[in-house]
Homo-oligomer: A and B are copies of this chain.
Amino acid sequence: MSHVADAEIVGINWGSSNFRAWRIAGDGSALDEIVAAKGVAGLSREAMAEAMAALAARWPDHGPIYASGMIGSNIGWAEAPYAIAPAGMADLARAAIPVEIGDSPVRIVPGIACRRGFDDAPDILRGEETELLGLMELAPGDGVAALPGTHTKWVRREGGRIGEFLTAMSGEIFDRLTGQGLLASIVEGEAADGPAFREGVARGRAGGLGLSSLLFGARARVIRDELARADAASYIRGLLIGSEIADALAAFPEMGEAVVPLIGNGPLSRLYAAALGSVGIETELVESRRACLLGFRAIHRASLG
């Protein structure tokens, strides 16, 4: 069976905005890659089938195909019901739904739903499960990991499975509130680590006031010459990430005592690393693509079992 487990597979991370497919070798490395702005949010079923036909034409001898992300949601090809946390690779492989997209057989990996003990509230993820499985191949062991993004996920791993998690939409809040409106008028340039960012993190984490008040306060500081316009983006990002860290620590108190893997790419993950570092939490950056590839391999292996 090992020759099958080591066979090439195709993994597709098919989200709302983007289509990213890899031909994955048995060792988890990428042999080839297709990246296109063909997220499901903008595609008809015909266009989804065409995207798969293009993939099959480029990789005629492809192995089994796995897809994760919004392709499995109610705006995707077919709804893959959420697996219930805690869920490991065997659970996700079992819950993957077999479909044909155009002429291509594809197994759609489900997302995961949890109910947090901390606040008895539901949470959901879809797409991140694959990266998390990959992380568990790279760095087995329990503890909290974070996936910084537009909707950042903070996830507890327990016994090799994905347990409770917490989503904060601070990336979207930052984008929408600084794109136009009151805060757009004070923001110049990108957020960066530095004193303004760290002061934001500290204020956001302190929890003295909620984000709605703290965010207006950024404008008041600029108008009162207590914050430079050039530092406003950094301060606002800091408030949002600091508030998120407070939430993650409340929901997952053990987070303060171990290295937190950050699965992501580029500047945003580095800001999270700086923010966590400033409150004494060590982090380790894990490239998102690497985690995703290994995650698809893990699901494939579990599918064979």
Interfacial chain B residues near A251, Cβ < 8 Å: 209
| Most chain B CB neighbours (cut-off 10 Å) among A221, A223, A240 | A223
Q: Give the Cβ gap from A150 to chain B, nearest Cβ, in Å.
A: 8
A170 CB contacts on chain B under 8 angstroms: 212
The reply to whether the CB of A36 lies closer than 8 angstroms to some CB of chain B is no
Contact A220 B124 (CB under 8 A): yes
Whether A182 is near chain B, meaning CB under 8 Å from some CB there, is: yes
CB atoms of B182 and A169 under 8 A apart: yes
Residue A246 is within 8 A (CB to CB) of chain B in the complex? yes
B168 in contact with A224 (CB, 8 Å): no
Q: Closest residue of chain B to A208, judged by CB?
A: B119
A213 touching B172, Cβ below 8 Å: no
Interface string of A207-226 (1 = CB under 8 A from B): 11111110111011101101
A173 at the interface (CB under 8 A from B): yes
Q: Is the CB of B213 within 8 A of A167?
A: yes
CB distance from A223 to the nearest CB of B (A): 6
